Amino acid sequence: MKSRVAIIGAGMSGLLLARKLRKSKIDVTVYDQKHKLGHPVRASSILSISGLSALGIDHTKIPANELRGARIYADGKMMEIRSKKAMAYSMDRHELNEMIKGECVDAGASIVTGKRIDADRLDELSGDSVIVGADGFNSTVARKYGFGACAQHVLTYRAEYAADFEDGKIVELFFDKAVAPGFFGWIAPEPKGVVEVGIGIGQGHGNSKAAYERLAKMQRVSEFLASARLRDHGASVIPIGLREKFSDNKKEVILIGDAAGQVKATTGGGIIFGGNGALIAADAIDRHIKLGANLEEYERLWRNRYWIDMKMHAAIRKLYSGLDARHIASLMGIMKTVKMDKFLGEYGDMDRPSLILKRFFLRGFAR
């Protein structure tokens, strides 16, 4: 039985796992190929308040921008979902990673940066350590241990600008199959006067940079860009859909976060689902090391807790991907007529559509 844990990848999933394992006094080392974690920034970090609290992330320790809702554009029409209170915070990914890294180090975890782990090094590490692949979409651990591929992925392109953006509390989303096939475009305010403009496209629809150029020509986006100063830009990938399997008790290997495909298919948000994967994994690893329990318990618990929400996210994405801008605009019209925009502003949940449904029915019965 192994007594230590080697985590490959110091993204949010790997770091949250290391922090929790140290609470159980387990010996843990996290390896990352990057010298500067989360840098260059290629992803936003918009996290729901309930998600932040479940993961024990204190957003007050770093600059965080309060978000109260979203404005959705399609075919020249707009629907706004606005809450009276904060729904989420956006943060800088590098600062977020550094904050959790500091908490890991304070708790006694070893963090080795600037070190890429290859298949040979995994063989060495697996001599005395449970191996955790927290190494993202292109996981070396998944390849080495024969886990299947993620079901689907989205190609993204994002650019960061220094700019003023309205009241800074609203994210803008652009749905148009001709511009962002299989996903959507966005403008999202971040802390410290930074605004992100980004786009995602489904597989088989060309490259994301070309899609970004189409987005930049949309009227609302080009108006914003006219007075914005470019700071950084680049492409990335979001896995959409779980791997067929993400734990192997015999090999004493598990995958968490993007490496496992623990991402919301609707928005590509993966920190909350991946972070919760890390918390569930920490308990399973603790029981495995101390009591010899089966590591695959982690996968069973994760699937039990999130399968309805994963299915609902996938179904919502399928719906909006199949509609052209005109039909999305009609759907928004219907939603406004039945006051769904107001309902979502009051009772919406970014992470768990199953909770929105539950609140919708409970409210219906309560009337």
Ligand X SMILES: Cc1cc2nc3c(=O)[nH]c(=O)nc-3n(C[C@H](O)[C@H](O)[C@H](O)COP(=O)(O)OP(=O)(O)OC[C@H]3O[C@@H](n4cnc5c(N)ncnc54)[C@H](O)[C@@H]3O)c2cc1C
Q: Which residues bind ligand X (CB under 6 A)?
A: 8-14, 31-34, 42-47, 116-117, 134-136, 140, 156, 158, 198, 236, 238, 257-259, 263, 268-272, 274
Indicate the residue among 266 and 329 with the shorter CB distance to ligand X. Answer: 266
d(C-alpha 241, C-alpha 231), whole Å: 32
* Residue 279 C-beta: closest distance to ligand X, Å: 13
Burial (CB count within 10 angstroms: exposed 0-12, middle 13-18, buried 19+), residue 86: middle
- For ligand X, give the closer residue by CB, 268 or 329: 268
Closer to ligand X by CB, 96 or 328: give it.
96
Q: How far apart are CB 146 and ligand X at their closest, in Å?
A: 16
Which SS3 state, helix, strand or coil, does residue 326 take? helix
- Which residue is it, tokens 């009772």? 347
CA angle 12, 187, 53 (to 5 degrees): 35
Q: Which amino acid is at 244?
A: E
- In angstroms, the CA 141 to CA 253 distance is 8
**Residue closer to ligand X (CB basis): 34 or 77:** 34
* Amino acid symbol at 140: T
Q: Is 210 helix (H, G, I), strand (E, B) or coil?
A: helix
Shortest approach of ligand X to residue 364 CB, angstroms? Answer: 30
Smallest gap from residue 6 Cβ to ligand X (A): 10
Q: Please report how many Cα atoms fall inside a 13 Å half-sphere around the Cα of residue 268, on the Cβ side.
A: 25
> CB–CB of 178/324 below 8 Å?
yes
Q: Which is nearer to ligand X, 116 or 300 (CB)?
A: 116
Query: Measured from the CB atom, is 46 or 221 closer to ligand X?
Result: 46
- Shortest Å, Cβ 77 to ligand X: 25
- State in angstroms the smallest separation of the CB of 275 from ligand X: 8
